[in-house]
Amino acid sequence: MIYDNMIELRSRLLKINAGSVLDVACGKGDFLKFILKSFNTYSSAVAIDKNIESLEHARKNLFEYPVSFVIGNVLSMPFLDKSFMTVTLSNSLHHIEDHEKLFTELIRVCRPDGIILV
């Protein structure tokens, strides 16, 4: 999928001050790159994935962005409650078996006034 062609989503993201961003199951980092280019502003970004090779690819793909990379299980993320203002998940849902546990985790790490974008 070519994210640069997602005009409607980009126009909506341009209005958002994303604060601290977490991209869950980041894969190669393509969606994270798209959203970081699209948000009006953001203060920090973290990418989490269980696959070390994917994280290494994402690190290379996002070399010009200040992103922290974390290897970990998205069903039990190593972050404090309410750690992020914006939590994103793209093109990964079909890889995750326990959707209830996943969404519980997404809600747990997102601030109450935050955004979860799937």
CA distances (Å), origin 110, targets 10, 51, 54, 84, 87: 21, 23, 23, 5, 6
Tens place of pLDDT per residue across the chain (118 aa): 565 668 888 888 899 999 999 999 999 999 999 999 999 999 999 999 999 999 999 999 999 999 999 999 999 999 999 999 999 999 888 888 899 999 999 999 999 999 999 9
Give the separation between CA 89 and CA 106, rounded to whole angstroms: 9
pTM over 0.85? The answer is yes
